[in-house]
Chains A and B, each alone.
Chain A
Amino acid sequence: MTATSLTSTQGAGRTGDKIFSGAALAAGCLILAVLFGVALFLVVQAIPALTAPAAEIQGGAGFFAYIWPIVIGTLIAAVIALVIATPIAIGVALFISHFAPRGLAAGLGYVVDLLAAIPSVVYGAWGATFLAREISPAYNWLADNMGWLPIFQGPASATGKTILTAGIVLSVMVLPIITSLSREIFLQTPKLHEEAALALGATRWEMIKMSVLPFARPGIISAVMLGLGRALGETMAVALVLSSGALTASLIQSGNQTIAAEIALNFPEASGLKVSTLIAAGLVLFVITLAVNMIARWIITRHKEFSGAN
């Protein structure tokens, strides 16, 4: 009697265990399947555009001629964003980790996180209505005084809706990402290294240069790569801010376009081959960001193994 009741409860428990671990495993595999599915469905839907005769693709010169100017435009916008955001983000992270008074540091970190909480469409609207208007005098100045540089060639856009404005808005959006990751790394610097540097008579800046920055370099690089991934894929800032056009070298004229904005602006009204052209463009964006993110994650995991030694 006891034996049978024992086995029966055991049986019930075992089924529960199996169902539960099975569900957990299935959820984990579902994530892998989704990522695989993202690639698969994009490829399937993109094939018509890749195999269609060149004349039927928008622009009439085939998919490659369609995609490369907007790939370059995407890279230009992302590079502008990183050139602006990286030094500021590292400065902000250093300020929060090593310069701000202890009591304030957590609160200031939260303030920077607020930047990440604001939805991208609000940044886009801010860039399109406020920043573009305020910054266009500066573009006129650049065109007048630095016009001999190809990137500042005039005449400047009267509305200020240029790739440089879009890049500035993007830099605001990637700033909190780079800041929060580098802040984490800076705080992980071994206290003994810092104190040893200070004990040798180093000033605070020399301490940071000798102990914090060398320790954090891989972390900063991967933080910047993750910011790059975000900047490449960000849609709204560019779609709302930039008045797009053909690829131009000048950053202060209207023109250029990014992949994400191209999709957002055209997909809602697209049909037929245009849909698969845009999905193919999305596939290109996916591959680029995937590569960037994987390199960043690879640097982080490699770094993790080394930092354990401290």
Chain B
Amino acid sequence: MTSTLTPVRSKRSALTKGQLPKYAPYIVLAAALIVGAAILALIGFNAFGWGLVSALLFAVGLVSWSAAVEGSRKAKDRLATCLVVGSFLVALLPLVSVIWTVLVNGVPGLLNPGFLSSSMNGVTGVYDNRAVEEGAPVLGGIYHALLGTVQITLLATVISVPVGLLTAIYLVEYGNDGRLARAITFFVDVMTGIPSIVAGLFAAAFFFAVVGPGTKTGAVAAVALSVLMIPVVVRSSEEMLKIVPNELREAAYALGVRKWRTILKVVIPTAISGIASGVTLAIARVIGETAPILVTAGFATSINSNVFGGWMASLPTFIYTQILNPTSPANPDPSSERAWGAALVLIILVMILNLAARLIARIFAPKAGR
């Protein structure tokens, strides 16, 4: 009996002495979960509290055990690890919560008949009251807002892409890191930080001064969005143009090709996948902007397909107005149902654009090697 014990003892060498076993965190975690559940059972159980209490117990338990066995330096290391992992988990909480809230509230709104194919034209509080009191279907939809978002974003893209791309070409191909190029780079960076509402106010103030006071159309909103979009396009295109190998340019010059044709036929085709994915990400960034559209395009409840005339709705402003000023103040539920449905559509649009950017970058990437 004793003879079998001695070799086991001797395996614990001086090198591993004074260390917690590898499975120590799992033991502490299990204990923390059980004790946490017990404590929560006493004061009323809820999942969030259980997670919080267990996490605290886990950190305290593991760190004090480590301090007792391994000494203070290792204990500090374990504490730092707990804090870092904990902060990551805390950061995930709002993401999960937002996506869950949007899904739970948005799916019923999305399933309302005609949600994607009708506008809010003629939908008044009377219908919403009827929907709540008599169980009639919730009327009204987001067709006008969807149309407005697509048109405003498209126009903004049409303005921003040429300006942004040409600026990037200037910075990389013509700028030579001179004073003007450095000034542009600096101010593009500064422009990235313009608050979106200030961009909206700028577009509004510009059109008030040029066209006339109170000018609110989709085009004004598109100008506001371009102010936000151009710096993003410049930065991403600049990065992409910079990584085009210089050998390609030199080979083209050696064949006697003009600089502008080199840029158009050699440099841009090489970088096109990166540029396209950068533009897609820029669209994804501005499609959800609310504040600039709020101050430039007003709110509309009916379909307006003319970007250059009349107020225009968009998905973000639709969500905003439906939540802040429900169609029927007495029964805000149908309005919030529509708002969450629109939020779901908006998030899906943004996610599709993000995925598309990644796919574009992968599929059209220039083939490396032969």
Contacts and interface: CB of A to CB of B under 8 A. Distances in A.
Contacts of A25: 170, 174
Contacts of B54: none
Nearest to B321: A268
Interface in B163-181: 163-167, 169-171, 173-175, 180-181
Interface string B125-169: 000000000000000000000000000000000000011111101
A27 B94 contact: no
Contacts of A41: 202, 205-206, 209
B184 A268 contact: no
Interface stretch (B9-17, B26-34, B83-91): B83-91
A203 B199 CA distance: 48
B88 A263 contact: no
A124 B291 CA distance: 12
B202 A37 contact: yes
B294 A91 contact: no
Interface stretch (A187-195, A248-256, A279-287): A279-287
Nearest to B163: A27
Contacts of B284: 117
A42 B193 contact: no
Nearest to B92: A111
Contacts of A115: 91, 94-95
A112 interface: yes
A267 B299 CA distance: 12
A124 B347 CA distance: 14
A111 to B, nearest CB: 7
A268 B298 contact: yes
A3 to B, nearest CB: 16
Contact of A264 (B105, B175, B294): B294
Interface residues of B, number: 96
Interface residues of A, number: 92
Contact of B87 (A45, A87, A118, A233): A87
A267 B260 CA distance: 46
Given A21-B260, A293-B190, A126 B101 contact: yes
B97 A267 contact: no
Given A28-B167, A45-B205, A122 B343 contact: yes
Contact of A31 (B86, B187, B343, B354): B187
Contacts of B183: 32
Nearest to A35: B187
Interface in B313-348: 316, 319-320, 323-324, 336, 339-340, 343, 346-347
B202 to A, nearest CB: 4
A87, A263, A271, most chain B CB atoms within 10 A: A263
Interface stretch (B69-77, B113-121, B269-277): B69-77
B253 to A, nearest CB: 12
Nearest to B48: A134
Contact of B343 (A125, A232, A290, A296): A125
A203 B343 contact: no
Contact of A17 (B181, B206, B258, B350): B258
B108 interface: no
Interface string B285-320: 001111100110011000000000000000010011
A91 B193 CA distance: 24
A31 B230 contact: yes
Nearest to B346: A119
Interface in A1-42: 13-14, 16-17, 19-21, 23-28, 30-32, 34-35, 37-38, 41-42
B201 interface: yes
B101 A34 contact: no
Contact of A226 (B193, B197, B289): B193
Interface in A92-110: 92, 94-96, 99-100, 108
Contact of A92 (B77, B87, B169, B291): B87
17 contacts: A24-B173, A31-B191, A35-B187, A35-B190, A88-B91, A128-B323, A129-B101, A172-B94, A232-B195, A233-B197, A235-B196, A264-B290, A268-B294, A268-B295, A286-B195, A293-B189, A297-B186
Interface of A: 13-14, 16-17, 19-21, 23-28, 30-32, 34-35, 37-38, 41-42, 44-45, 87-92, 94-96, 99-100, 108, 111-112, 114-115, 117-126, 128-131, 172, 175, 179, 203-206, 208, 226, 229-230, 232-236, 239-240, 260, 263-264, 267-268, 271, 275, 278-279, 282, 285-286, 289-290, 292-294, 296-297, 301
